[in-house]
Structure formats: C-alpha cells, structure tokens
Amino acid sequence: MYKLPSIKRISAFCIAVALIFGTIGITKPDNNVITKATPENSAYAEELEELSDRQKELEKKIEELQKQIEENKKKIEETKKKASVYDDDISALQDKIGALQEQIDLYNEAIAVIDADIAVIDNQIKGVENEIDSLNKQIDELDKQVVKIQQKIADTYTLLGERIRASYMSGASSSLEYLLTSDEFEFQSYLERVELIERIAEHDDTLIKDLEKEIDSLKAKVLEIEDMKTRLAGKIKELDEVKKEHEAKKKEQEDARQVILDAEAEIQKDLDKVMAVIHEFDKESKAYQAAIDKAEDAIMDYENKLAE
C-alpha cells in the first residue's frame, strides 16, 4: 500500500509548527508580555491548515486507490484460479487431438502410397495403350499394302484379258483356218505369236500367284498383330483390375480417415468452447490489470502533488 513516508510527515509537521510559532511573538515569562496573534499570523495558520487538509485528502485518495489495486489483484488471482480449473480439460482435449492427428497422418501416408501405386499402374496402362495404337497403325499400313496388291492383281487380270482379246481379234477365225490358208512363213509367225502369248500368260499367272502369296503373308502379319493386340488388351484388363483393387483400398483408407477427422472436429469444437471461456477470463484479467495500471498512475500523480 502506497503511504506517505514518515520523514515527509515529520518534516511537514515541523515546518508547520515553525511557521506558526515564528509568526507569534513570545517573551520571557518574567516580563509577563505575550504578543497576540495578528491577522497575518492567522492567515498563515489557515493556509497551513488548508495544506494539511489537502494532504489528508490526497492521502485518503491514495489509500482508496491502493484498496482498489489490492481488490483488482485479488480478482485477477480469482480469475486465474477459475481459468486453471480448465487446464486439465484443455490438456486432455489437446492430447486426444494429437493422438487422432497421428492416426490421420498414418492414413495420409497409406493413401499416398496407394496413390503412387495407382500412378504406376496408370503409366503402365498408358504404355500398353500406346503399344496398341502402334499396332493399329501397323495394321492400317498392312491393309493399305493389301489393297495395293489386290489392285495390282486386278490390273494384271485386266491386262491379260486385253491381250487375249487383242490376239483373238487380230488373228484368223480359227487355228485350222489359219493353218490351211497361210504359207510357211506366216505359219511360223503364228506359232511364235501363240508361244509369246502363252509365255506372257504364264508370266502374268506367276505374277498373280506371287502377289496372292504376298497378300497371304500380309494377312498373316495382320492376324499376328491382331493377336498381339488381343494379348495387350488382356494386359490392360488385368491392370484395370489391379487398379480397381488399389482404388478400393484407397476408399477404405479415406473412409477410415474421415471417421477420425469427424471425431477430431468434434473434439476441436469442445476445445474451442473451453478456449472461448479462457479467452473471457483473459479479457477480465486484462481489464483488472488495466484498472491497476490506471490506479498506480493516479497514485504516482497524487504523490507528486504531495511532494510539491
């Protein structure tokens, strides 16, 4: 409690007495003369009395403020005690949240691993799909070659027919007629022409057969590629099944994690409620402390006035 120091009190008292007695004349007893108080002496006495009253008033205000400070300090202590009641609850709730968070972290790690596995499978599926696209391009190219060869065979058949027709139209009505009417040179020429046509026909026939073999070879390649596509499609199906299994595991992990997240959210709500109460206590304590600070400033101001 702030009190005026005793030295100041004594000094003030001594000064007051000195001033009072300094203004009143006192003679020795044997002279039997006592100087009466003058109006000036009375004014000094009134001024000293007024200062004394002012001093008492300031001291009273200081004492009242000191009481307020002590009361506010007690209130702060009471508020702290009220807040401390929730310490165990806060600690327990925080421990629960911490434990749940550890489980959530474990689920997050497991889900991350599954996501990585799914990403690998997706890359594998993409690679197989690229292989199938490449095979489809090869098949398209082979189909184009088959169409070209088929066109070449058709052109050969057409050319062969034209040759036979031209030979027939330019020759005699029959070989017997041509044999009976032609001389030896013409007959020899006829035989040579027949032989040439037969050779050309034989050549065209061989060419057609070779082309047909080439077509068969291309078709065999197409079938081989189609078989490869079928195997790759089967591989994609297997990868899709594995991917579905991983996605199912991921769903299980996510559902389990969500249960914990919901539990954590509920506990967090309880913790928020408790922290809101603690916050109100803190506000009260700060308000009491602000009142203490204000009172201490006022006391300091009053003490400065007392010192003056």
- What's this model's pTM, rounded to 2 decimal places? 0.57
C-alpha dist (Å) from residue 161 to 154, 190, 201? 11, 19, 9
Name the residue with tokens 């690998």: 120
- Can you tell me the distance from the alpha carbon of 126 to that of 136, in angstroms, rounded to the nearest whole number? 15
pLDDT at 143: 84
- Can you tell me the distance from the alpha carbon of 300 to that of 308, in angstroms, rounded to the nearest whole number? 12
**Could you tell me how many residues make up the chain?**
308
As a three-state string, the secondary structure of the chain is CCCCCHHHHHHHHHHHHHHHHHCCCECCHHHCCECCCCHHHHHHHHHHHHHHHHHHHHHHHHHHHHHHHHHHHHHHHHHHHHHHCCHHHHHHHHHHHHHHHHHHHHHHHHHHHHHHHHHHHHHHHHHHHHHHHHHHHHHHHHHHHHHHHHHHHHHHHHHHHHHHHHHHHHCCCCHHHHHHHCCHHHHHHHHHHHHHHHHHHHHHHHHHHHHHHHHHHHHHHHHHHHHHHHHHHHHHHHHHHHHHHHHHHHHHHHHHHHHHHHHHHHHHHHHHHHHHHHHHHHHHHHHHHHHHHHHHHHHHHHHHHHHC
User: Angle of helix 6-22 relative to helix 39-84, nearest 10 degrees?
Assistant: 170
Name the residue type at position 300. Answer: M
pLDDT at 303: 86
Contact by Cβ (8 Å): 268, 55: no
- Can you tell me the distance from the alpha carbon of 88 to that of 94, in angstroms, rounded to the nearest whole number? 10
pLDDT at 130: 93
User: What's phi and psi for 105, nearest 5 deg?
Assistant: -60, -40
Per-residue confidence in pLDDT tens, the chain, 308 aa: 444 443 344 344 444 444 444 444 433 444 444 444 455 667 777 777 777 878 888 888 888 989 999 999 999 999 999 888 899 999 999 999 999 999 999 999 999 999 999 999 999 999 999 999 998 898 888 888 888 888 877 777 777 666 666 655 555 444 444 444 444 444 455 555 555 556 666 666 677 787 778 888 888 888 888 888 888 999 999 999 999 999 999 999 999 999 999 999 999 999 999 999 999 999 999 999 999 999 999 889 888 888 87
Contacts of 12 (CB under 8 A, 6+ apart): 52, 55
Contact by Cβ (8 Å): 62, 2: yes
What value, to the nearest 5°, has the Cα angle with vertex 198 and ends 194 and 200? 115
Q: How far apart are the first and last CA of the chain?
A: 21
pLDDT at 252: 95
pLDDT at 160: 67
Contacts of 233 (CB under 8 A, 6+ apart): 132
- Can you tell me the distance from the alpha carbon of 267 to that of 257, in angstroms, rounded to the nearest whole number? 15
